[in-house]
Amino acid sequence: MNSINKNDIKVFRTENSKLDQTDFENLAFGQVFSDHMLTCDFKDGIWQKPIIEPYGPISLMPSAKIFHYGQSIFEGMKAYKDKDGKVFLFRPMENVKRLNKSAKRLAIPELPEDFFMEGLKALLEVEKDWIPEKEGSSLYIRPFVFATGEGFHASPANQYKFIIALAPSGAYFAGKVKVLIEEKYSRSANGGVGYAKAGGNYAGQFYPTQLAKDKGYQQVIWTDDTSHEYIEEAGAMNVFVRIKDTLLTSPTSDRILDGVTRKSVLKIAEDEGIKTEVRKVKVSEIVEAAKNGDLKEMFGAGTAAVISPISGFGFRDEDFELPELENSYAMRIKKRIVDIQTNKAEDPFGWRVQV
């Protein structure tokens, strides 16, 4: 089997560190990149040894299949520093396994798990000074794989590249998010690639999302592709709805991405004694609840923002406002998750991994 230890990974250091010029007090989300990246090539039928090299441009042939057939997958995760400078990841094996689930669906060769984990640990060791310490900040980690092999023939490439790039980021703040429940366009379909973190899933969302923005909404709530009667995701986040005191979310399927945050929200809610139901949620049920006052909260869940509260939604030319709650489930659950991620609270679930 392919296996590697982080100490076997060669490091080629940059001579032009940007660390001193980086303003860690005013970081946006995913706009500044650290000095080094991990790279690893697949060729001759195997994943070659990963290396760490300066973050910089990569050179590809115009016939590289990523440009033509979109074989491209990614992950999103974060590293946190506690007040003593210790570094933590949050449920990282979930990301490793999901990358390979996505790889399989896109006919990309699966990556040995320790190339990812040991590679990431080695990279974080080199880049530890890039992990922000400021409250709410973190180091956003973007692992991705794409087809570098050449050919205009529509078939899987014979060469790929795995990269991990890092972006020190401030708190992700979307502000008040008004969403539009979408009935025409779909994010994913039965038997499709919706459960994979495939680049093309995002490309397909941009146009309908732009149309929603033109109408004054910030984001789209996707519904199922056949009946458009059930909600599925909020933009590129999983979606939760609170009706009275019950927290509802859709079951995962081949159309819905199995989010690490979604799983964590469900677990924390259970731990807090909040009633949860994982079942299909009808748009008509939400509209009804909004009309009779039973709809208390809606929020998106994903790594970037952890939880992103929704302030209102539009459906068929009607707008509905959500109440502003003092002690919302959204804020209670977010605090519990962030405190575990940043080593401010006990971690009864064993989610935190020190690196």
What residue ranges bind ligand PLP (CB under 6 A)?
76, 197, 233, 236-238, 257, 259-262, 302-303
CA 165 vs CA 65, 76, 84: distances in Å: 21, 10, 25
User: What residues have CB less than 8 Å from 191, skipping those under 6 apart?
Assistant: 254
Between residues 197 and 334, which has the closer beta carbon with respect to ligand PLP?
197
Q: Which amino acid is at 173?
A: F
* Contact between residue 182 and residue 230 where contact means Cβ atoms under 8 Å apart: no
Least distance to ligand PLP, CB of residue 76, Å: 5
String of DSSP letters for 201-224: HHHHHHHHHHHHHHTT-SEEEEE-
Residues in the chain: 355
Between residues 71 and 261, which has the closer beta carbon with respect to ligand PLP?
261
Least distance to ligand PLP, CB of residue 261, Å: 3
Least distance to ligand PLP, CB of residue 294, Å: 26
CB atoms within 10 A of CB 152: 9
Between residues 126 and 179, which has the closer beta carbon with respect to ligand PLP?
179
281 by Cβ neighbours in 10 Å (0-12 / 13-18 / 19+) ranks as buried
Q: Which amino acid is at 124?
A: L
Least distance to ligand PLP, CB of residue 211, Å: 19
Least distance to ligand PLP, CB of residue 118, Å: 21
* Contact between residue 96 and residue 74 where contact means Cβ atoms under 8 Å apart: no
Least distance to ligand PLP, CB of residue 248, Å: 16
